[in-house]
Structure 1
Amino acid sequence: MLPPFSGKPMQATPIHDTIIASLARRGTLDQDDHAAIRRLTLTQRQIEPSTYLVREGEKPTRCAFVLSGFTYRQKLTSNGARQIVSLQIPGEFIDLQNLSLDESDHNVQALTRAQIADVDIAALRTIVTERPAIAAAMWLESLIDASIFREWIVNIGRRDAHTRVGHLLCEFSLRLEAAGVATTRAYNLPMTQEQLGDTVGLTPVHVNRVLKALAQRGLIERDRRQIRIVDWTGLRDASDFNPRYLHLKQV
């Protein structure tokens, strides 16, 4: 079962404005849309790394918005092998598709310590029914999420080890910059080498070798989890990276 709420419900707060700003990046919202979002009851809580927010097979009752930190979706095979299938960053909703699905088909866990705001799914269903602009913004959010997922399938299925890891580093850089989390080509990579391996289908040892090779080629510099992209054009070209799938021009 999911852990019980540890936070307290709250009325209109700056967190509502954060959600408004996030959805406004996906579409034009009017003042009535803003007011509808501010009427949502939120529950803020802090979660520790590895905490489950969604469990496969359970009926979802709430949808989380990431305020800080990172979460990830994962699937487990029958023998316990894990595949990380997506990463959520600050300013994103987790699992908007569960507004329409009766049962979760995957797990969501905290990648780092994170602050989230929970919203009752029934309340979100009501707001997307009554406010078309909000529904359109959430739909676009889900479509971009699906586009990123398609690219990850290509990454793990058709690219070699160096290209897989480099591609992910390029994506993190642009997504964090667009979210206002990073303003340069330097950022803290929120994943261990084991987690990176579970994302790109490599062993932790292989991931370490690839990171060293990218540094030796002068494409990146790293200090533990701190990544700095030294040669953006070189890393982009070496990683078969085209940001079209992020739809940044539509944000």
Structure 2
Amino acid sequence: MSATTGPHPRLLKVCGATTPEEAAAVAARADLVGLWYGVENGARDLTGAQLAELAEAVRTAGRAEPVLVTFLHDADRIASAARAARVRWIQLHAYQTPAAVAALRSALPDAVLVKAVHVLDGACVERPFLQAYSRAGADLFLVDAATRGGAVGSTGHRVPAEALEALLPTLPLPFLLAGGLSEADASGHAFAAHPGFRGVDIDHAARVDGGPLDPARVAVLDRAWAATSAPLPGEHPATS
């Protein structure tokens, strides 16, 4: 994909919409809206029909694109759900193998594939496989925290600054950052100046007291993260 030059707003992804109304309400102020599918026992997990309904609500209500966020490893099932819902962005937010990424890339050559990598006890669990994920066809990494209890995704736990600093030089792809972030993190942090930084994935700070995604909170986040800019490519936000 060809790249453009010049500044673009940071990508703001908010995650975990569960109704068309909620998804539509935040789509005007986010770039990406995460929709859970295949997240076993997830509080915000959707059926295939719900995924399609919410994806359409996102597309028609604002500037955002829907993102299928999944723990699934079955590339055929993920691809089928993405096609049915007409979702182009897919976030693999579990411990899928590089082979699973390659199979999904083969099935969906035009998708934007975001592979989550997890920091646990100060180290990236997937560090030995970063190059393999890149070769398999991932477009972006999402750096997030995992917990000793095994929780991944929307944990509210931060990636320790020293662990992030050690990890970033090893990433062969641009990255999004997750893990307890808010508008207060939009400036003054080393990761924001990193050339591979493409934006943030936020859940807890986009809600009030754990409720639905809140348009007012998303507007605050949007203003904060749009105040800085980053180079983004033309068609494919992940390539550089």
Q: TM-score range with shorter-chain normalisation?
A: under 0.3
TM-score by length of 1: 0.26
TM-score by length of 2: 0.27
Structure with larger Rg: 1
Which structure is higher in RCO with an 8 Å CA cutoff and minimum separation 6? 2
